[in-house]
Structure 1
Amino acid sequence: MGKIDPRVVKTRKKLRQAFLDLLKTRKLSEMNIKDLTNQAGVTRGTFYLHYRDKDTFVETIMEEIIEDFYDSVINYVEFEGNPEKMIPQIVLDRVFEYIGESPEFFITLLKENDAEEYRMLFSDKLYDYILEHVNYGNSIPVRKMPKELINNFLVFALLGIADAWVVEGKIYANHYMATNVAKLFRSELFIEVGLENFFVSDAE
């Protein structure tokens, strides 16, 4: 596959950043192409060269950021020292670093009704990593628990803690948050379903 024109990459980065900047003052439903192009410093014609309409743009950007988030925070480690069996962990230090750089996106994901389908995407991807994490061990306990129960707890707990952290001015360092949230996610329930080492801190 050929390389993407650097001008295309640059324009899409500008529009993505404009989207994130506008989320500071607007809901998804209030977003419009004029504001996006003005914020990005590109013309409407340029916008339509890359995206069919506003809805396509929002869908693409939301999905891209969720994908980028997981690419950034997931780390694969050997299962019981076997390099042929690699399982994912979520490094919480990276979670708070990523959220700290784009807090408006995650606040939108947590609180807006219009973001429900993307919250579901975020949740479903998390569950896929959970199943992959327990794949080589005993996956039965986690599968016995209703997906909605464990996913809702994890998504709203993680995003809710991050939201409060941002609102309070990020007064605690990423590492401090990661270390303590990792401890919170080591309850009896997590041990029972084999997820006590799914959320980790860089120090571990």
Structure 2
Amino acid sequence: MSKVDRRILKTQEALKTAVIELMAEKNFDDITIQDLSDKANVSRGTIYLHYMDKYDLLDKLIETHIQELRVRCEAAADLDFVTGSVVWTEYFEDNYTFFATMLASKGAPFFRNRFLDFLVEEFQNEVDNTKGKNEGLNKDLVVHFVASSYVGIVEWWFTNERPVSYQVLAEQLGTLLERICE
């Protein structure tokens, strides 16, 4: 695997930071390449060396975070729901600006939908509709219920500027998941 030049990484990080900061100020559709160029202190041409357009930049930024959540989910696979939720909520806390902007911004519904799709995929293996409380229920309905609820709670947490600590959020989410999925 070839090593990526630090200047490239620095430029890409500056652009990712710039898009998040700009989205906190205005709707994504209103952000121009010139805005990104000015905020990241790079030329317009430099942006196009790394990304096709602002949508490609946003898409790659979103995918980076979804992929990291996937890695963390795999690492927490053998943990109970409460402990596993700490892994995620700690990541949310560490990346507060990104998630708060993505979930509170009207200009980024794509992220919410992408996050929901990811959670539906992850909860497929957690919901058992063959026994217990969920016996006989439509599995897709239960999975979508759980994933939508999870997104809604996380969105609430960011929109309300973290009314509880990420540890309390994890404990509460984990407890709720245990009640629904087990």
TM norm structure 1: 0.68
Q: Give the Å deviation of 1:172.
A: 2.3
Q: Give the Å deviation of 1:179.
A: 0.9
Instruction: Report whether the alignment pairs 1:9 with 2:2.
Output: no
Q: Give the Å deviation of 1:15.
A: 0.8
The match for 1:181 is 173
CA–CA distance in 1 between the matches of 2:77 and 2:34?
46
1:1-50: CA deviation from partner (whole Å, max 9, x where unpaired): 32222211111111111122222122221222112122212111211111
The one of 140, 152, 170 equivalent to 1:147 is 140
CA–CA distance in 2 between the matches of 1:169 and 1:89?
22
Seen in structure 2, the aligned counterparts of structure 1 residues 139 and 145 have a Cα distance that, compared at 3 Å, is closer
Conserved? CA contact 1:97–1:174, under 8 Å = yes
Instruction: Report whether the alignment pairs 1:119 with 2:106.
Output: no
Larger helix percent: 2
CA–CA distance in 2 between the matches of 1:115 and 1:127?
19
Conserved? CA contact 1:106–1:159, under 8 Å = no
SS at the partner of 1:166? helix
Identity %, equivalent residues: 25
Conserved? CA contact 1:110–1:159, under 8 Å = no
Conserved? CA contact 2:23–2:107, under 8 Å = no
Seen in structure 2, the aligned counterparts of structure 1 residues 171 and 58 have a Cα distance that, compared at 3 Å, is closer
Conserved? CA contact 1:77–1:89, under 8 Å = no
Instruction: Report whether the alignment pairs 1:62 with 2:62.
Output: yes
The match for 2:85 is 92
CA–CA distance in 2 between the matches of 1:148 and 1:120?
17
Seen in structure 2, the aligned counterparts of structure 1 residues 109 and 146 have a Cα distance that, compared at 3 Å, is farther
SS at the partner of 2:3? coil
Q: Give the Å deviation of 1:129.
A: 2.3
Count residues with an aligned counterpart.
179
Larger strand percent: 1
Conserved? CA contact 2:29–2:107, under 8 Å = yes
Conserved? CA contact 1:73–1:90, under 8 Å = no
SS at the partner of 1:157? helix
What is the root-mean-square deviation of aligned Cα atoms in Å?
3.4
1:124-179: CA deviation from partner (whole Å, max 9, x where unpaired): 32233223456xxx67578963536532x334422332333334442422212211
Q: Give the Å deviation of 1:102.
A: 3.6
Seen in structure 2, the aligned counterparts of structure 1 residues 24 and 186 have a Cα distance that, compared at 3 Å, is same
Bigger shift: 58-67 or 98-107? 98-107
Pairs within 5 Å for 1:98-117: 98-103=91-96, 105-107=98-100, 109-110=102-103, 115-117=108-110
1:68-102: CA deviation from partner (whole Å, max 9, x where unpaired): 233345434459xxxxxxxx998222322222344
